[in-house]
Chain A
């Protein structure tokens, strides 16, 4: 086993490695038994140190909070993606065509100006309908999640215990999840 691998493993455990590096190390872990032994040792050392400082609990919930915040954000990103699609979706060759179409539209507006003015009242609902389509996915109060408080976490532990006992299909010792989950808080 090379020194580089262990350095990368250490970086992964310290949360200093990039995503690509993390995946590479996980791949390596499945092939390299020495590296697995190192992982056990490093994890053990890390946990011992974190125990002494009592900071692993804070770190876990802190990161959990970030994950939850990110999970609660999809609506904003959806709107942005949609607007990007509109901006970037048309190829370069289409720009002159679009320009021509716009010029033609202006001319057409000039011709039917009076009629448009008369029908302005009727056109409003369609604009409103378009706006409604864009604003349809706007986050409602129902889609916002809070981080569970202590009472809720205790209730979740009971639910999880019941789930592990009666519903879990995890093939590898369902109890492991209980131990890990309990140690998160």
Chain B
């Protein structure tokens, strides 16, 4: 009798728990592969009404990641970047806490760039973020297809490899050395990894209510012509940057969009507040509405 009860209990365990665990494991492997593997290929970036074809390569040399992105048949020099300073810390880290705002499911096996890949879906539990689909190479755990889908179930941005080649360590090192002259080192300013006290940005600004699942941290201040404080809200899969600078007279509220990425500038008192993030515009507005200046 006990055996039967045990069997019934086991059978009644919800399958989504196992599916979510598998999805987590696969996404974590994917994160490692993206930062540690050497690969190159042709990537198609679809957003708005644009289809952009890019030649990309990712190599690791002495612990430094080098991304090289070149838009095909477009004027201008290739865009290269040494990403060690930020990439490893910024790649999504999948942990169980994310299940408060996303549900993770495994989908079908598809074929992308002639390689079989496992579909993983991160479905938001509210309307503050977008649904994200990952198709992860079943052999190498490399991300081959990444799609962002909006509230009306329409794909608004997609990155898809049409061909990909996994490089050996030796060939990757040779390539990285050859490209050293063109590499642009990332900003040397360090990013504070410490999360700020809940909802508090700095002495002058605070968030009345931090959006569910998001954590706040401080980014490096922007110098130059426009000096701006930079604050980052992230739930691990979606992130929003808040830039606060002094308002220029006669400024107007502006906004623009590029695929899933929204950029909006609002004004509060004598400050200009620009929010940047791959989240719906309504989320950016919610965050802005929750910003309060301590002088009030």
A and B: interacting chains: yes
Contact flag A39-B219 (CB < 8 Å), given A148-B254, A165-B187, A167-B90: no
Q: Say how far B280's CB is from chain A's closest CB, in angstroms.
A: 10
A40 touches B258 (CB 8 A): no
Q: Which residues of A contact B239 (CB under 8 A)?
A: 163, 167-169
Return the chain A residue nearest B91 by Cβ: A171
A44 touches B252 (CB 8 A): no
B186 touches A165 (CB 8 A): yes
Q: Which of B132-182 contact A (CB under 8 A)?
A: 134-135, 143, 145-146, 154-155, 158-160, 162
Return the chain B residue nearest A49 by Cβ: B73
Interface assignment of B278: CB less than 8 Å from any CB of chain A: yes
Q: Could you tell me the distance between the alpha carbons of A173 and B238 in the complex, rounded to whole angstroms?
A: 15
Q: Could you tell me the distance between the alpha carbons of A169 and B129 in the complex, rounded to whole angstroms?
A: 13
A contacts with B, residue count (CB < 8 A): 64
Return the chain A residue nearest B58 by Cβ: A173
Q: Say how far B60's CB is from chain A's closest CB, in angstroms.
A: 14
Q: Could you tell me the distance between the alpha carbons of A95 and B255 in the complex, rounded to whole angstroms?
A: 46
Q: Which residues of A contact B228 (CB under 8 A)?
A: 159
A183 touches B74 (CB 8 A): yes
Q: Could you tell me the distance between the alpha carbons of A159 and B220 in the complex, rounded to whole angstroms?
A: 12
B31 touches A171 (CB 8 A): yes
Contact flag A31-B160 (CB < 8 Å), given A71-B281, A171-B30: no
Q: Say how far A62's CB is from chain B's closest CB, in angstroms.
A: 10
Interface assignment of A158: CB less than 8 Å from any CB of chain B: yes
Q: Could you tell me the distance between the alpha carbons of A169 and B91 in the complex, rounded to whole angstroms?
A: 6
A47 touches B230 (CB 8 A): no
The answer, among A15, A44, A153, A172, for a CB contact under 8 Å with B34, is A172
Interface assignment of A107: CB less than 8 Å from any CB of chain B: no
Q: Which residues of B contact A160 (CB under 8 A)?
A: 261, 263, 276
Interface assignment of B105: CB less than 8 Å from any CB of chain A: no
Q: Could you tell me the distance between the alpha carbons of A145 and B264 in the complex, rounded to whole angstroms?
A: 8
A167 touches B114 (CB 8 A): no
B72 touches A26 (CB 8 A): no
- The number of residue pairs between A and B whose CB atoms lie closer than 8 Å in the complex comes to 213
B256-296 CB mask vs A (1 if < 8 Å, else 0) is 11110101111000000010111001000000000000000
Q: Which residues of B contact A179 (CB under 8 A)?
A: 52, 54, 69-71, 79
A162 touches B254 (CB 8 A): no
A169 touches B92 (CB 8 A): yes
Q: Could you tell me the distance between the alpha carbons of A33 and B162 in the complex, rounded to whole angstroms?
A: 8
Contact flag A37-B51 (CB < 8 Å), given A68-B255, A163-B277: no
Return the chain B residue nearest A152 by Cβ: B254
Return the chain B residue nearest A12 by Cβ: B51
Q: Could you tell me the distance between the alpha carbons of A156 and B243 in the complex, rounded to whole angstroms?
A: 10
B258 touches A184 (CB 8 A): yes
Interface assignment of A46: CB less than 8 Å from any CB of chain B: yes
Contact flag A166-B220 (CB < 8 Å), given A26-B155, A37-B162, A174-B87: yes
Q: Could you tell me the distance between the alpha carbons of A64 and B243 in the complex, rounded to whole angstroms?
A: 22
Interface assignment of B237: CB less than 8 Å from any CB of chain A: yes
A31 touches B111 (CB 8 A): yes
Q: Could you tell me the distance between the alpha carbons of A42 and B51 in the complex, rounded to whole angstroms?
A: 9
30 A-B residue contacts at CB 8 Å? A19-B154, A23-B155, A33-B113, A37-B162, A39-B51, A43-B53, A44-B53, A51-B74, A64-B48, A144-B253, A145-B254, A147-B256, A148-B254, A148-B255, A148-B256, A152-B254, A159-B263, A162-B187, A163-B277, A166-B219, A167-B240, A169-B239, A170-B278, A171-B34, A171-B134, A172-B34, A176-B56, A177-B261, A179-B71, A180-B45
List B residues at the A interface (Cβ < 8 Å).
30-31, 34, 42-54, 56, 58, 67, 69-76, 79, 81, 83, 85-87, 90-92, 110-114, 134-135, 143, 145-146, 154-155, 158-160, 162, 186-187, 191, 219-220, 222, 224, 226, 228, 230, 232, 234, 236-241, 243, 252-259, 261, 263-266, 274, 276-278, 281
List A residues at the B interface (Cβ < 8 Å).
13, 15, 19, 23, 26, 29-31, 33, 36-37, 39-40, 42-44, 46-48, 51, 56, 59-60, 63-64, 67-68, 71, 142, 144-149, 152-153, 155-156, 158-160, 162-163, 165-184
